[in-house]
Amino acid sequence: MSGGERQRVLLARALAQNPKLLVLDELTNHLDIRARFELLDLIRATGVTTLAVLHDLDLAARLCDHLVVLHAGTVAAAGPVLKVLTTELLADVFGVHAHTERHADGVIRITYAARPLARDGDPQGYPRRRDGTPAALPPPGAPAPDQARSPK
């Protein structure tokens, strides 16, 4: 059985139990584009409250009514998709120039610029936040990744 087939079987088993909450982690891994859209449409059609962990913003925009964006272990933004995925947040957290809009078909789409953001004088070309720090690093004042995960 392929990875995509396994994903669908696991989802079918979960949905067969009529859950009140469905928790999904990277639910579209191993799926081709058509299967991704079919799966997302199926999940939305069930009406089941779903908590999904996604790294694909386009899929998140299509699936979610409410979105929480995490950055460096903290909540960067939370709320309805169009209020969360702002041009400013996409630049600050992901280092890209992009914007979101709801199209006539009701689907929210993200349009990205051809290149990531970069500031003049940055020899490595890292995308930068407005405060000048590289977007790939934790924001100023945030604990380093090894400190954030250390046991207390």
The candidate with the shortest Cα–Cα distance to 56, out of 45, 46, 67, 48, is: 67
User: Which residue range is the domain that position 20 belongs to?
Assistant: 1-53
pLDDT recorded at residue 120: 54
Give the residue with greater pLDDT, 7 vs 139: 7
Q: How confident is the model at residue 150 (pLDDT cuts 50, 70, 90)?
A: very low
pLDDT recorded at residue 149: 46
On whether both 69 and 124 belong to a single domain, the answer is yes
pLDDT recorded at residue 94: 85
On whether both 88 and 47 belong to a single domain, the answer is no
pLDDT recorded at residue 105: 84
Q: How far apart are CA 117 and CA 137, in angstroms?
A: 14
- Looking at 36, 53, 70, the residue that finishes a domain is 53
On whether both 66 and 48 belong to a single domain, the answer is no
On whether both 20 and 80 belong to a single domain, the answer is no
Q: What domain count does the chain have?
A: 2
Q: How confident is the model at residue 16 (pLDDT cuts 50, 70, 90)?
A: very high
Q: How far apart are CA 152 and CA 149, in angstroms?
A: 9
Give the residue with greater pLDDT, 105 vs 148: 105
What percent of the chain is modeled with pLDDT above 70? 75
On whether both 31 and 83 belong to a single domain, the answer is no
On whether both 63 and 109 belong to a single domain, the answer is yes
On whether both 30 and 95 belong to a single domain, the answer is no
Q: Please check whether residue 152 lies inside any domain of the structure.
A: no
User: What average pLDDT does the structure give for the chain?
Assistant: 79
On whether both 60 and 118 belong to a single domain, the answer is yes
Measured CA distances, 45 to 1, 39, 50, 61, 101 (Å):
26, 10, 12, 16, 22
On whether both 136 and 63 belong to a single domain, the answer is yes
Write the pLDDT tens digit of every residue in 36-87: 888 888 888 888 999 989 888 888 888 888 999 999 889 999 999 999 999 8
On whether both 86 and 11 belong to a single domain, the answer is no
On whether both 45 and 71 belong to a single domain, the answer is no
Give the residue with greater pLDDT, 63 vs 150: 63
On whether both 3 and 47 belong to a single domain, the answer is yes
pLDDT recorded at residue 152: 45
Q: Please check whether residue 149 lies inside any domain of the structure.
A: no
